[in-house]
Each structure stands twice: as C-alpha cells, then as structure tokens.
Structure 1
C-alpha cells in the first residue's frame, strides 16, 4: 500500500519576514542600478563619448551636484533642512568611501611604476595605469549615484502627493459608479494594482542608470503622475461592495 504523501502548505511570512524581504529587494535594486550605471559609463567611454578619459563622468557628477545645490539655494524654508541634511549625508558618505578610505589616492599612486618595484608589482601597476580612467570614471559615477539617490529620497513626497490625489479621485469615481449602477472590472483593478509598485521601481532604475545628466523633474514628475494614475484606476475599479 502506497503511503499517502502529506503536503504541508507553505508558511506565510509575517510582518518581520515581509519587511526583511522588502529591504533586501530595495538593496538589490540599488546595487543593480549602481552596477548598470558603471557598465553603461564604461561602454560609453569605449565607444561613444568624445570627452577624453573620465571627463564625461566627472562632468555628470558636477552637474548632478549642481541640481542638488540648486534645490538647496532655490527651495523654500520647509524643505531647506531636509535638502541640507541630504547634501551633508552624500558628502560624508562619498568622502568616507573614496577619500578617507584612500581609494583615490591609492589609484593615483599605484598607476606610477617605480624602479624598485618587482615584476609582479610593476605588472599590477601597469594594469591599473591602463584602466585608470575607467576606475576613476567608476568613482565619479558612484558619487553621482549617491547624489541621484538623495534626490530621489527628497522626491518621495511628490509620489505620495500624487498617490493621495489619485486615491481620492479614484474613490470618488468608485462612489459614483456604485450609486449610478456602473460596472466594475476586476481585471482592470488587478492590472492597475500590479503596475503601481513597478512604476516606482522603474523610476528609480531609470534615473539612477541613465548615462547622461538630466534634470530630475523630467524623470520624477512623469513617473509620479503615472503612479497617481495607477492608484486612481485601482481604487476606481475596486469592487462596489465589501
């Protein structure tokens, strides 16, 4: 007689498990975006950019810092504290990772071969010297990545605002549909719900990985509107009776 196999249902993750999973996904998203930023910059240096060496990456970093400084000098008093804190945090993290750690100084020192170096050490230095521009470009791109990440954190209230507007408008449309006898669509509701979070993720990936300087308003505003639209459609198509 064959033994009956007992299947145990998968345990549902609790709030702590879901929080850990969300944090790991965010970290993975940021690491993937940083990696793609460096790879795209290296490909551009090798085949597309006219600027010599790491000049393109350095120029992009300075432009992005200018956008953050522009927000600091042109913003209102309510946001000045948050922008100033974000700017100081970016400066502290960048200095810790690349200046205080000695990465930049070591790259500059290692690329020069001295007569006292052995064969292996001299070969390593020649290798570093050959890829010095690419390594420095990676440093500048990662600093720019930190600046853009700070700008995205500062832009989250815009996503929240458009989300609130979308939910409010969607609930109003839902009430009108309920009282006027309109039809509901679970298909549209589930698709809008499925797209809401990917819109946020796509905004972060696109802005963090884009290979040229671009004003954050050209990325943040359209995606914030699209996020609010997804929430509006989702709430408007929510079932009429609970």
Structure 2
C-alpha cells in the first residue's frame, strides 16, 4: 500500500514555484514581443521597418529618464539601465558580429551567412531593439514593485478591518468569494508583467501598473475580508 501511495504521489504533476513562474513569464513575454514585432514589420508597419522598434526604445527610455529618476530600489536607475542596455547590445550585436554583417561592414560578401543575414537585416535589427526595449521595461517593472507592495498592504488592512466588522456583527461568510478572489491574486500580478513587457507599442507604465495594482489590491482585500470569521 505504501508503495502504491508513493507511486501515486510521484506521478502527480508538481506545481510551479513562484520563481519559475516569473522566469517563464519573462521568457514568454520576450518571445511574444519579438513575434509581434516581426509580424508587424511583415504586414502592418512595413515602411517603418526596424525604425518602429528603435522609436519604441527611445520613448521607453525617456519614460525611465523622466519618471524614475529616484527610487528606493536603485540609487541611479537611469545609469543602471544604460549599463544594462550597453552590455546587452555589446553581447548580442557587437561580439556576435551580427551588426557588422547587417550593416555590410564585413568584407566577405560572398559568404552564405552574410547574404542570408543581410537579406533579413531589418528583422535582425528589430529583434535587437525589441530585446533592449524588453530590458528597459524590465528595469521599469522592477522600479514599479513598490506600488504593488503598497496596494497589497492597503488591501490587507482594508480586508482585515472588514473581516473584523463582519466577525463582530451579523455578517455572513462566503467561501465562494474567498477562493475565487484568492485565485486571482497571482494571475493579476503575472498578467500585469506579461501585458507591459509584450505590448507592441509604446505605453506609459502608469497606464498598466496603476489599474493592475488596484485590481491586485482589491483581490487581496476581498480575500482577507471574506476569510472565515473564526479560526
């Protein structure tokens, strides 16, 4: 019997941890943004080409320069982001030689690799720009974590107060509200990251994080407020 139970337990799918969920979300967001940009270049902004992603990079970085000068998390966010962008660009574009091939600065023009990459140079540049945009947004996302922490604190306090009022009054418990609101806490957090990191156009961080932080805090408030009156 013990062997049967151990086998059944081993066959159960293991739930993903929070860290693995974050890594998966970041990778999926980057993949989506690259795919959307390539589709856009092919069908929607064909005349803009890689200038579309380059403009996105400039605008997203301007948001960082204007609204995230000071932060509790990083002492110099702009300098930190500049260093990340520079290092990543050096790693994926310069050291690999991609940018040289695309720009036609490689002498061996008879090379098959040269001809292939040069023919899709617009896509290569766009992908490089999108990767840089992704990391700029990732820095902004990290700097925006305090708004979610604040929303969580407010949600906890509000929910506990309403729970105490219900506990000492004639309020009724609702397991339906509790379990459904609890189930939305993690998805709302991850969804806000996924949306912000994947959208194929420039968007101010406040347009994503403020509404999602409100919904995140509201879910926590409902969860705490609908928690059973007696432990």
Contact residue 199 and residue 226 of structure 1 kept, 8 A: yes
In structure 1, runs of 5+ residues without a counterpart are 12-16, 74-78
Over residues 186-239 of structure 1, what are the superposed CA-to-partner deviations in whole Å (9 max), with x where a residue is unaligned? 111011000001000000000000000011100000000000000010011000
**Alignment coverage as a number of residue pairs:** 226
Instruction: Give the 5 Å matches for 1:194-205.
Output: 194-205=183-194
Aligned position for 1:10: 9
Does residue 1:55 correspond to 2:51, yes or no?
Answer: yes
- Residue in structure 1 matching 2:121, options 132, 137, 162: 132
Displacement of 1:117 in angstroms is 5.4
Q: 1:25 to 1:183 in 2, by over 3 A?
A: same
Instruction: Summarize deviations over 1:127-183 as a string: whole Å, max 9, x none.
Output: 101111111111111111111111111111111111111111111111111111211
Structure 2 residue aligned with 1:97: 88
Q: Shift in Å at residue 91 of structure 1?
A: 2.1
**Alpha-carbon distance, 1:114 to partner:** 7.1
What's the counterpart of residue 238 of structure 1? Answer: 227
Note if 1:156 corresponds to 2:145.
Answer: yes
Change (3 A) 1:34 1:116: closer
Pair 1:39-2:39 in alignment: no
**Partner deviation per Cα, 1:38-91 (whole Å, 9 max, x = no partner):** 111111111111542200000000000000000245xxxxx3564553333322
8 Å Cα contact 1:33-1:208 kept in structure 2:
yes
| Equivalent of residue 192 in structure 1, options 167, 177, 181 | 181
Structure index of larger Rg = 1
Match of 2:79 in 1: 88
Q: For 1:132 and 1:229, how far apart are their aligned partners in 2?
A: 46
Matched, 1:170 2:168: no
Q: Which structure 2 segments of 5+ residues have no match?
A: none
The two structures have a TM-score, normalised by structure 2, of 0.88
Q: What corresponds to 2:98 in structure 1?
A: 107
Paired residue secondary structure (2:178): helix
Which residue does the alignment assign to 2:18?
A: 22
Root mean square deviation, CA, Å:
2.6
